[in-house]
Amino acid sequence: MTNETARRIVVLAGGVGGSKFAVGLRTLLARSEPMAAVTVIANTGDDLWLTGIRLQPDVDSLLYALAGVNDAERGWGRSGESERVSTELRAWNAGWPWFTLGDLDLGTHLARTGWLREGVGAVEIVRRLSARWPLGVEILPMTEAEVDTIVTVRDGDGKRTMHFQEWWTLHRARLEPIRFANPGIEMALPAPGVTEAIARADVVLVAPSNPVVSVGPILSVPGIRDALRDTGAPIVGISPIIGGAVVRGMADVCLAAVGAECSAAGVAAVYGARSAGGILDAWLVAEEDSATLPSIRALGIAARVAPLWMHDTDSSAQLAADALALATDVSGL
């Protein structure tokens, strides 16, 4: 493939599943299509202010994984991490004692916060962070606005709200969620470059991320759904549900909160067929879920089975290859 025809691939992604998939995609392309350009549009719904500093967990997960400095065993954060500062914060009774804040990770947050306070935008900040290592992938935050996810949970006869991270990390998603919201998102703009990347993409992939709290916020930024509906590129998603169960994280309770079934077909229905006002042209499901193919196709979404487990970089790369092959096939339809 020549430079002129180098493909532009856009990925919508959350943190952990998105990172594994992005690393697999990069590995695949390095072998087969080195001129291809990948833009990952990252969820920023789980961003937070903590002790006066700004954290952007999904962006950082992507950054660390693509840089190869992530803690693969733990599944998040930096490898070789320590908690000298965090231990002090606990001694001061400051911040969230249940929220792990590594020292190396904190360096990223402080750099980000300092730049934010200088008036630097979120895209430029991610660009600066990305410049430290040869990532081979462009990371774009979905928006430069602050649209932290707020969860409303049932509390006895009433309800109460909390930051997504409190619900997810402190309560391990055990409090029954009624609603997820991103206050202010209706006024937010897509980050500079986001809709442009979607418009000129040759392929758009939806990573196997949480459809409600990872990909959901991306789709809620005004303008992004429209860009997806209008792009000439095929849009292929990968199911985050395998064998009717969540791979990791707590997508099941999130799906229940939005009235969706925790199945490959249930998530496909949340996204919807592009032909019916949704965003998907095609959906890749696990071999274990082949029984769901008819109901997905009934939605107007092309569907195919493939091995979805991302055990290592090779299996992630193979998954990316299967997703790109499905994109090519639906383009030809």
Contacting range for its own copies; rule: CB under 8 A; set: 86-94, 200-208, 269-277, 319-327? 86-94
Our CB check for its own copies shows the closer of 114 and 294 to be: 114
51 forms part of the interface with its own copies (CB under 8 A): yes
Our CB check for its own copies shows the closer of 95 and 223 to be: 95
Our CB check for its own copies shows the closer of 2 and 92 to be: 92
160 forms part of the interface with its own copies (CB under 8 A): no
Distance (Å, whole) CA 184 – CA 22? 29
Half-sphere exposure of 146 (CA within 13 A, CB side): 7
Query: Are the C-beta atoms of 43 and 17 separated by less than 8 Å?
Result: no
116 forms part of the interface with its own copies (CB under 8 A): yes
117 forms part of the interface with its own copies (CB under 8 A): yes
Residue 160 is inside which H or E element, if any? strand 158-163
**Minimal distance, residue 284 CB to its own copies, in Å:** 37
Do the strands 245-246 and 203-206 form a parallel or antiparallel pair, or are they unpaired?
A: unpaired
Query: Are the C-beta atoms of 236 and 206 separated by less than 8 Å?
Result: yes
By CB under 8 A, name the one of 2, 3, 73, 91 that touches its own copies.
91
By CB under 8 A, name the one of 6, 72, 104, 246 that touches its own copies.
104
Distance (Å, whole) CA 89 – CA 111? 19
By CB under 8 A, name the one of 2, 3, 84, 259 that touches its own copies.
84
Contacting range for its own copies; rule: CB under 8 A; set: 108-116, 189-197, 299-307, 308-316? 108-116
Question: Which residues, 53 to 72, sit near its own copies by CB under 8 A?
Answer: 53-54
Structure token digits, residue 13? 């992604």
132 forms part of the interface with its own copies (CB under 8 A): yes
**Minimal distance, residue 54 CB to its own copies, in Å:** 8
DSSP code, position 125: H
With H, G, I as helix, E, B as strand and everything else as coil, classify residue 172. Answer: coil
- The alpha-helical segments, DSSP class H, found in 258-312 are 264-271, 293-298
163: left (phi over 0), alpha (psi -120 to 50) or beta: beta
Count of CB atoms situated within 10 Å of the CB of 65: 25
What are the residues binding its own copies (CB under 8 A)? 49-54, 82, 84-89, 91-95, 103-104, 106-108, 110-111, 113-117, 128-129, 132
